[in-house]
Amino acid sequence: MALLQISEPGQSAAPHQHKLAVGIDLGTTNSLIATVRSGMSTVLQDAHGHALLPSVVRYAPDGVVVGHEAQTQQSADPINTIASVKRFMGRSLHDIADRAHIPYRFLEDATANKQVQLQTRAGLKTPVEISAEILKALKIRAEHSLGGELTGAVITVPAYFDDAQRQATKDAARLAGLNVLRLLNEPTAAAVAYGLDNNAEGTYVIYDLGGGTFDVSILKLTKGVFEVLATNGDSALGGDDFDHRIYCWVLDKVRESSSHFTPLNEEDTRLLLTKSRQAKEWLTDNFEAQIVGKLSNGTLVDVTLSATQFVELTQHLVTKTLAPTRKAMRDAVLDIADIKGVVLVGGATRMPQVRHAVEDYFQQTPLTNLDPDKVVALGAAIQANALVGNRSDNDLLLLDVTPLSLGLETMGGLVEKIIPRNSTLPVARAQDFTTYKDGQTAMSLQVVQGERELVADCRSLARFELRGIPPMAAGAARIRVTFQVDADGLLSVSAREQTSGVEANILVKPSYGLHEDEITHMLKASYAGAEADKKARMLAEARVNAGAIIQSVTQALAHDGQLISLQEKQTIEAEITQLQTTAQAEDAIAINKGVEALNHATEAFAQARMNASVSRALAGKNIENIKL
């Protein structure tokens, strides 16, 4: 017999209380919010029945407007109506290409971690603040629909978002009043939805082409375990770029037909970009699209773009998505035959040329039975439901990975990799380091990200210092450095001297501003420059060893030089001079030989120092009283 549970009005009776959790797809073009109801993940709609919320924010004279209402004012008020803000998240002004074709007024504030700012009638706004307005609108929609305050949210991000972009997303959510349960990679969220809805098992590729970003992830699905084998992508490639190609084509046509063409103002730019997006969407199901509009100078735009022309204009963009796909396949050590299915995610995958390219590459028809616009939010909702402790018939384990290696700078400008790329998250790794000089009481640590062997070829994430190290001989101290990357992909680093217990740590919040081209360059350079990196590392290590032995022998001669003859001392000094000269050259083998020669020249001196040390230790002591 079941017992009747009684609770206060408006409250559920524990332990059967159902917590309100949501999954949010914060997209470049559109955003969505979903939740789990009666065991089913569903997207929440607004009062007008719209599931998609256009990711557009307008700073109107009487307040902030988000979504469809803001979108209708893009052409009339382009400076104060911000769209595709996701492309600016975690970026600096330097990182934003083609600013001349973006109808916004940018300002870079050096005091704001170099994060780009946009001038609006409401003042300067950062991408974090603008994104927070979108998230607030989604939060209000969910609380009205669910009838209560949200417990938490899982927010999705592109798999190839770097640490700065992830942190910016998390900051925006907090600004919107959301409790962030986890940042979840968009391809993984899509796999969650497909894996649970279709009971799929095997190795799957998630091809995610959204409005502003491209991700490809390879996942192995086994009995509720989602293991990311490899990930790659381009956070500056998406449907917006296809719009831009049409926009440039239209501009060329207008120039050809007008002998007095003048540069476009912000209103005209936004008008043509909007018309270009509409043409792209129309060509998904039609053979040609007519682009008609009137510019502010009276010029009439009336051109027709065929589907064939559109394919030709954008073929290089489609091809650009296949390069990261091939890299991910190589990283996962897989062949095409190993792939059981390909999942298409993102509204831009509706374009026929994209679907054909994916089908040709993987030699199979992609899976499209879930709405590519909604699948990410649906998967995020499932994960959110599990994280707040609501009962689920599905045991779910997500294993994401790091996109790039993380490490520390060591002597000689070398990189010591602590966490290699494609390591499963969350992950923690520790490694011991030591001091370079006698009596060293502090150590400066630089955290870097990248695949190259030299710090100069990687990206610096953060710097911090460990002070209070007890004075010891060089190499005697033991400093343990620990890297921890949480489930959101955010990094923290700590350093601890083992004997004294002094410790320093830092939560890595890098300056907003890593462009995807830098990530791509890092990976390309790591492959192309592997041999050069190996030689550079050997040379740097040889120079560090040479410097260490020169310093050690020079100090020993100053302290105990009287223990050897003048001729022996001169021989050692000559070897030191020779090694100093050799170390300036680019020959690691010659430097190592010079180190060996100096070691050989100091053998007798080392023996004399040892004998003198023993004699000093035994002076004045009775041999019978010495314990062995």
In SS3 terms, 415-436 reads as EEEEECCCCECCEEEEEEECCC
Which of 77, 86, 125, 451 is an active site residue? 86
| 59 close to 37: Cβ distance less than 8 angstroms | no
Which residues sit opposite 218 in a β-bridge? 205, 230
Do 510 and 164 form a contact (C-beta atoms < 8 A)?
yes
- Residue 213 has which token pair? 């970003």
Task: Report the C-alpha gap between 563 and 88 in whole angstroms.
Answer: 67
Q: Return contacts of 567-576, CB within 8 angstroms, 24+ apart.
A: 568/604, 568/605, 571/601, 572/598, 572/601, 572/602, 572/605, 575/601, 576/550
Would you call 117 helix, strand, or coil by DSSP? strand
Q: 25, 95, 453, 488: which is the annotated catalytic residue?
A: 25
The one catalytic residue in 95, 162, 171, 186 is 186
Is 86 an annotated catalytic residue? yes
With CA atoms as reference, report the closest residue to 447 among 400, 517, 496, 494: 494
Q: Quick check: is 149 catalytic?
A: no
Which residues 6+ apart lie within 8 Å of 264 measured at CB? 251, 272, 295
Can 186 be counted among the known catalytic residues? Answer: yes
315-320: which pairs have CB atoms within 8 A and are 24 or more residues apart?
A: 315/353, 317/237, 317/241, 317/242, 317/245, 318/353, 318/354, 318/357, 319/357, 320/234, 320/237
Q: Pairing mode, if any, of strands 123-125 and 442-449?
A: unpaired
Please list, in sequence order, all residues whose beta carbon lies within 8 angstroms of the beta carbon of residue 520, skipping any fewer than 6 positions away. 234
> How big is the chain by its Cα radius of gyration, in Å?
31
The active-site residue, picked from 129, 133, 163, 208, is: 208
Q: How far apart are CA 132 and CA 122, in angstroms?
A: 15
- Phi and psi at residue 368, in whole multiples of 5°? -135, 20
Residues known to be catalytic: 25, 86, 186, 208
